[in-house]
Amino acid sequence: MTAQRAIATAAVLAACACGPVGAATHAESPDGRWRVDGDGAAVVVRDAGHVARALPAADLGGRETGRVADVHYLPRRRSFVIVFAGLAELWELSVDASAPPVYDGLVHDWRLGEAVPTPGFLGVRRTRLPAPAATLRPEDGQTPSQPHVLVSVPGAELLVHLEVRRVIARFALQP
C-alpha cells in the first residue's frame, strides 16, 4: 500500500467515525465571532454579527451558480468549508488575518510575482469537484493542520485535500 493511499484510507476512516452527517446552511466559530450563512444564492460572512463580506454562490467565471448545501468550521485552519447544491465546487474561506494569498488558476512562479493573488483573509480557495456535493465531513483532527474533508457526491465519497485543492481519493458507495 502506498503512503498516499494509507493516508487517504486513514482520513476516510477518521471522517466516518466523527458522527452523523448533517447538512447545515450555516456554521459559527467556537468563540462566536465568525459566522457563515448560506442565504439563497449568496454566502454571507459575519464578523461579530455585522456583515463582513457577501459572495455570490458562483464559480470564478460567474457561469455556474448554486446554493449552499453544507458548511463547517475548521478550528485549526481558522476557516469555513462550504459545498453547494448545483455548483461543483468546494470553497475554503479563511477568517485568519494572516492567511496566505489565494492564487486562482495556474501559476508559473509566485515568488517572482508571475501571478495576481487575491487576499487570503476572507478570500475563497476553490476546489473543483466532479459533481455538486450534498454534504461534507471534516476529519476528526488526527493531523495538526486538518487538511482533509470527505465530500458526498452522487454515488461516491470524495477525499479532498485542502492544501493542494484536489480530490485525492474516490470511494464508490454501494447501492
Q: How far apart are alpha carbons 137 and 159 in whole angstroms?
A: 10
Per-residue pLDDT of 148-173, as tens digits, reads 999 999 999 999 999 999 999 999 98
For Cα atoms 83, 89, 94, give the angle at the middle one, nearest 5 degrees.
65
49: left (phi over 0), alpha (psi -120 to 50) or beta: left
Contacts of 165 (CB under 8 A, 6+ apart): 125, 126, 127
Amino acid, res. 122: L
Task: Provide the mean pLDDT of the chain.
Answer: 84
Return the CATH class of domain 3-172.
mainly beta
User: 120 versus 139: which is more confidently predicted?
Assistant: 120
Q: Can you give the pLDDT at residue 17?
A: 37
Per-residue pLDDT of 70-118, as tens digits, reads 999 999 999 999 999 999 999 999 999 999 999 887 777 767 767 788 9
Q: How far apart are alpha carbons 136 and 9 in whole angstroms?
A: 16
Contacts of 83 (CB under 8 A, 6+ apart): 68, 69, 70, 89, 90, 91, 129, 132, 133, 134, 135, 136, 151
Q: Can you give the pLDDT at residue 169?
A: 94
pTM of the model: 0.82
Q: Can you give the pLDDT at residue 110?
A: 64
Q: Can you give the pLDDT at residue 32?
A: 95
CA nearest 23: which of 33, 43, 13, 38? Answer: 38
Query: Quick check: helix, strand or coil at residue 6?
Result: helix
Per-residue pLDDT of 19-58, as tens digits, reads 334 578 999 999 999 999 998 889 999 999 999 999 999 9
How many Cβ atoms from other residues are within 10 Å of residue 142's Cβ?
12
Query: Quick check: helix, strand or coil at residue 4?
Result: helix
Per-residue pLDDT of 121-138, as tens digits, reads 999 999 999 999 989 888
How many Cβ atoms from other residues are within 10 Å of residue 115's Cβ?
15
Q: Which three cell numbers stand for residue 2?
A: 502506498
Question: pLDDT band at residue 145, thresholds of 50, 70 and 90?
Answer: confident
Q: Can you give the pLDDT at residue 16?
A: 39
